[in-house]
Structure 1
Amino acid sequence: MKLSEIKKILQTAEAVNFKVEQGAMVPEHFHITEVGIISKDFIDCGGKVRHEKVANFQLWDADDYEHRLKAGKLLDIISLSEKVLGMEDLEIEVEYQSGTIGKYELGFDGQTFLLLSKQTACLANEACGIEVPKKAMVNLVETSNSCAPGSGCC
């Protein structure tokens, strides 16, 4: 999710709630302790120089049980970050404590923000000789085991 997308959602949101992809809710009394820009310059295993830049939100679960972050307050924090840091319309990465600091992509299910697991991957498959197997496409219409309407198989 990009910064522009969360801002649009927050304009009409009644509450700001986060849920980890596996289903656990982030406690309602969380704080967003940081909104910033993370830049990463690196060389992949194929020798190609790469640059990444993301907007970063850090969620923290404190013992402040009366705290509730409102949508307008988060919009204000984002606006200040854009102004002071020159933040662009970047993809959002969320940091949240889960055993260690976890990094998540941000999604939205229409009501709750979702912390979606990120995965590592080789960025230079062709250079290091690793082939990622392609999954075969199956045409369900042509398979002999397909269910026809009214056949009773479904």
Structure 2
Amino acid sequence: MKLSQIKKLLGTVETVNFQLPNGTFVPEHFHVTEVGLINKRFIDCGGTVRSETVANFQLWDANDFEHRLKPEKLLNVIQLSEKVLGIEDFEIEVEYQNTTIGKYDLGFNGENFELLNKHTACLAQDQCGIPSEKQKVRLSDINAKACCAPEAKCC
């Protein structure tokens, strides 16, 4: 989800709830302790220099049980971060501490914001020996007689 999308959604929801991938919710007394900009420069395993920029939200489960973040308050913090930090319409990455700090993509299911699992991937598969996905073939579709004939020289 991009920053422009959450800003639009915050104008339509009454509460801000974040649902974890396992279906449970971040406790309703959470705080958004940071709205930031993360720039990452790196070299992939194929030697290509890459960069990635995301808007970052950090959620914190505080002992402040009476706290409830209102959509307007989060929208104000986002707008301030855009102005002060120069944050553009980047994808949002959410950090939330469970057993360790997890990083999540952000979605919306029509009612709640969803913390979506992020996944790693090789960005240079063609250069680091990752085989391409094997084509699935039904054995009944193979013409065994043509393939295994002595003149085919394949057996």
TM-score range, shorter chain: 0.7 to 0.9
Aligned to 2:144: none
**Matches of 1:135 and 1:115, distance apart in 2:** 33
Shift of 1:39: 0.4
**Matches of 1:134 and 1:125, distance apart in 2:** 14
Work out the number of aligned pairs and report it: 138
Shift of 1:131: 2.1
**Equivalent residue of 2:126, what SS?**
helix
Deviations 1:49-101 (A, max 9, x none): 00000000000001100000000000000000000000000000000001110
So what's the TM-score if we normalise by structure 1? 0.86
So what's the TM-score if we normalise by structure 2? 0.86
Backbone CA RMSD of aligned residues = 1.6
Runs of 4+ in 1 over 6 A off after TM superposition: none
Q: Which amino acid aligns with 2:82?
A: E
**Matches of 1:8 and 1:135, distance apart in 2:** 43
Shift of 1:136: 4.9
**Matches of 1:131 and 1:107, distance apart in 2:** 32
1:1-154 superposed matches below 5 A: 1-133=1-133, 136=136
**Matches of 2:135 and 2:83, distance apart in 1:** 45
Q: Where in structure 1 are there 5+ consecutive unaligned residues?
A: 138-154
Instruction: Give the greater-gyration-radius structure (CA).
Output: 2
Q: Where in structure 2 are there 5+ consecutive unaligned residues?
A: 138-155
